[in-house]
Amino acid sequence: MTVAGGPVIPNFGSGSSCEVNNGWFCTEWVHQHWGDTLQPALVQHVELVAIAVAIGFVIASALAFAGFRYRLLDAPIGLVSDFLYTIPSLALFQILVPFTGITVTTVEIALVSYTLLILYRNMIVGLRTVPAEVVDSARGSGFTRLQTFVRVEMPLALPAVLTGLRIATVSTVSIATIAPFVIAKGLGQPIYDALGQGVFKTEIFTAGGMVIALALLLDAAIVLAQRALTPWVRA
């Protein structure tokens, strides 16, 4: 299913004693393989997440526009996104393979579908807090429904929308680690390789630590953006 990574696992004949004995953490291995293994995996991981969250955000916005305008649609949209969210990630990847093959598309479709529930719910919660008078005056000044949505309602719903974006981004960083079950991309790949090759600890701890660090870093970045963009939230 997956292609074994390149020069990832140390050659057990000539590695350092730490590498040969599979010690808890071999710094020299990280130095040697940052360039050929870890850095490319990190870049791929960020790409996977950025594409998924961006597409998820656009789709969720469209769904929120529909679900908020036409209340009848809200329950079905919520139900479908909840259904998608319930499917185990590894299973969703495999169910998609007959349709989209062993491709990045398969991974992205799965990642996008997990962002929908979180983004959609938060957008609806945010939109409900927008005062009716504000919307009325926008409509009265000649804004179309779409203009009102994009330029008035979404900006005012921003605190909840950004909270959704934050949760969706962190979750996607985490779920993207499963990608190597379909394609050899992202920080899951070095972990997957290391598991297959005698549970090489250094690689597992480094790549695993990088995923967690990436998630926490993006989390912090969005919190800061939230503070800068929605100063009215702080009392």
Partner 1 sequence: MNTFVDAFRFMGDHTHLLLLKTAEHVELSGAALGIALLLALPIGLWLGHLHRGLFLAAGVSNVGRALPSLVLIAFGLTIFGVGFWNNTAALVVLAIPPILTNAYFAVDRCDRDAVDAARGMGMTGRQVLMQVELPLGLPFVLAGIRIAAIFVIATATIAAIAGGGGLGQIIVNQASYGLGGVVAASLWVSALAFAASLVLAAVRRVASPRHGSLP
Per the CB < 8 A criterion, the answer to whether 129 and 146 are in contact is no
Minimum CB distance to partner 1, residue 105 (Å): 16
Q: Compute the residue count for the chain.
A: 235
Listing DSSP states for 113-131 in one string gives HHHHHHHHHHHHHHHHTS-
Interface ranges with partner 1 (CB under 8 A): 1, 83, 85-92, 94-95, 97-98, 167, 170-171, 173-175, 177-178, 181, 188, 191-192, 194-195, 199, 201, 204-205, 207-208, 211-212, 215-216, 219
**Nearest distance from residue 80's CB to partner 1, in Å?**
13
As a whole number of angstroms, the distance between CA 73 and CA 66 comes to: 7
Residue 159 vs 208, nearer CB to partner 1: 208
User: Is 89 or 226 the residue whose CB approaches partner 1 more closely?
Assistant: 89
> 197-234: buried (b, 16+ CB within 10 Å) or exposed (e) per residue?
beebbbbbbbbbebbeebbeebeeebeeebeeebeeee
The CB-of-176 to partner 1 minimum distance in angstroms stands at: 8
Least Å from the CB of residue 167 to partner 1? 7
157 vs 178 by CB, closer to partner 1: 178
Cβ proximity to partner 1, 148 vs 171, nearer residue: 171
